[in-house]
Structure 1
Amino acid sequence: MEKMLHDKKYLAAFRSFLQSEFSDENIEFWLACEDFKSTASPEDLHWKAEGIYQEFIQPLASREINVDHHIKEKIKKSLEKPSLSCFDEAQKHVYLLMERDSWPRFLNSDAYLSLKYKSRTRWYI
């Protein structure tokens, strides 16, 4: 799954699949965390952390992810002085949820099988 999440075609297909299942907040959170970890300036770190918290973590967030209360509280406390790793635990949890739940269904979906077939036939043309 990790390798395919870094391939634009497979990532787009997986995103579309998750949207069809109304669970695209998981991949969007994971991607937001990947972007967050590449943040260089402390000022950007703070506003990006706040944005991720408001969109995905806070109670009744518009795209709230499924992580337990303890993880949410740790993140809330870390917002006072955010670090590049403040979302790591939640990101890992969401990744494992996708890997165990959504990813196997995606691998059996028409979207994936069609993409896989197209990738294979290009080599023969």
Structure 2
Amino acid sequence: MSIMKQGVCLASMEGVEPGVALFRSLGDPARLAIVRRLAAGEARVSELTAELGLAQSTVSSHVSCLRDCGLVAGRMEGRRVFYSLARPELLDMLAAAEVLLAATGNAVALCPTYGTDAVVEATAGAR
């Protein structure tokens, strides 16, 4: 996914699918929380479950998704699997997102389509 090519903005729908898939993989609150936790160091599913307060099946499903996306890797030690971020570039992207969020203030959180209130309403409506 190239945003700029030789200083020229590429205003086209062509080739955006991988970027859309990346942001969707990080768009779920549980998956983003898992990625943020793994940014601090490797962890097992049982540790993620305890730290994030989520069901084991939920954490396993989200870790599997992130692994399938190539964002998380597992390391076997005996019968235990320790998960970590597979790509250090993900840390750079998360740091850049934090800078962007700080620069925009509350604008993203207040967005009527994707902001905090919209996510809460969508989640409540799904029940």
User: Do both share a fold (TM > 0.5)?
Assistant: no
User: More strand per residue: 1 or 2?
Assistant: 2
What is the TM-score with the length of structure 1 in the denominator? 0.34
User: More helix per residue: 1 or 2?
Assistant: 1
Q: Between the two structures, name the one with larger relative contact order (CA 8 Å, sep ≥ 6).
A: 1
